[in-house]
Structure 1
Amino acid sequence: MATETLTAERILAATEDVLRLYGPAKATVVDVARALGVSHGSVYRHFRTKAALREAVTKRWLDRTTAELSRIVADGSRSAEDRLALWNVALFTAKRKKAGADPQLFATYEVLLRENSGVVDEHITELVGQLVRIVQDGVDAGDFTPVEGDVEATARAVFDATIRFHDPVYAAEWSKPGIEAEMDALLALLVNGLKRRP
């Protein structure tokens, strides 16, 4: 049996390993418990259902990206224009890395994302919220003009315009030659559209 204290974080890490090994269709709570050397009842004390465990592991996976991006949003030493570009590049880089470095787990998460639309909706809300802060900072600095004066709608438009570079539906395109240049062109267009005109 396990000698380490059983924590939610240990369970989630083990769940990732089990999902990678068996995929979402075959992975069970018993498999997770076995990987940890505990009873499945011990896992259920932390996560009441298999669905709750899958939702938590999905949120953990998405939160890793959000945490990286929040550092860019908070970097007041950079202009809003720079942060907008860096944020989008970091999001694309993180998603592409997940897709390329561990394709089996990435495919598993695509299934889990479809199952956990509430978690995905929260994640998207958080990402758009980060963009709202960047756009608002640009407006406050006199660098950006929001679309029809609506910062939130502007941030959402930026998110939607860049969807090809962060939605897993487009993952097959992320390794094609020239994709970075295509993203740079789109970001230049977006920033140019946001710039305040004299």
Structure 2
Amino acid sequence: MAPTSETLTAERILEATEEVLRRHGPAKATVVDVARALGVSHGSVYRHFRTKAALREAVTKRWLDRTSGELSGIAAADRDPEARLRDWLTALFAAKRRKAGDDPELFATYTVLTGENGTAVSEHIADLTAQLTRVIQAGAETGSFTAADPEATARAVFQATARFHDPGYAQEWRQEGVEADFEAVVDLLVRGLRA
């Protein structure tokens, strides 16, 4: 293996892993493939990620965190809670559609990986529902929303909109009329939340 001029970091390994997964898919991608792409020994990769499962979990978490990061600014904004809720749900739907449409091979790979990595997925869902809870709590505090239990309400809103963010529904995201369906669900939820 040719020595690499850049320092090997966890981030570089994750970037290379993503590319290897895109090329080979989750069933065939190996740590040796990742090491080869980086020009290092597989032992060097194992110094950063002790097992193949740990590497796959880290790359899955990184992928999911991109969506969480996009949404956190909306959830934290000091704006009208109803507008924030609408914007947050719209951004979530757009992010998931973009991931499925822009890079379908990698999206399919991550669908497999998220099935393997329950911890990363459950942490992602907990983060998203915590963001929603902040928005709904703000609405309850300003009198815009009626929500005796903002956390339970956030979970219900998240579950009610699953068709527009759960990867299991990705095939439906390209169907004609899906945007209108999304708007109808969001309008219904907002009307139900209004004080």
- In the TM superposition, what whole-angstrom CA distance separates every residue of 1:98-139 from its partner, at most 9, and x where no partner exists? 101111110000100000011101110110000000000000
Give the match for residue 91 of structure 1. Answer: 92
Q: How does 1:9-158 map to 2 (within 5 A)?
A: 9-76=11-78, 78-146=79-147, 149-158=148-157
Amino acid at match of 2:51: T
SS at match of 1:26: coil
- In the TM superposition, what whole-angstrom CA distance separates every residue of 1:134-180 from its partner, at most 9, and x where no partner exists? 0000001110001xx11111010000000000000000000111111
Give the match for residue 184 of structure 1. Answer: 183
For these two proteins, the number of residue pairs brought into alignment is: 193
* Aligned counterparts of 2:101 and 2:4: Cα–Cα separation in 1: 33
* Aligned counterparts of 1:92 and 1:104: Cα–Cα separation in 2: 19
Question: Percent same amino acid among aligned pairs?
Answer: 67
Amino acid at match of 2:169: Y
Give the match for residue 162 of structure 2. Answer: 163
TM score, norm. by length of structure 2: 0.98
SS at match of 1:6: coil
Structural RMSD (CA): 0.5
* Aligned counterparts of 1:165 and 1:121: Cα–Cα separation in 2: 18
TM score, norm. by length of structure 1: 0.96
* Aligned counterparts of 1:151 and 1:95: Cα–Cα separation in 2: 24
Amino acid at match of 1:174: W
TM superposition outliers: structure 1 runs of 4+ over 2 Å:
none
Q: Gaps (5+ residues) in structure 1?
A: none
Amino acid at match of 1:175: R
Tell me how far 1:181 sits from its aligned partner: 1.1
- In the TM superposition, what whole-angstrom CA distance separates every residue of 1:30-86 from its partner, at most 9, and x where no partner exists? 00000001110110000000000000000000000000000101110x211001011
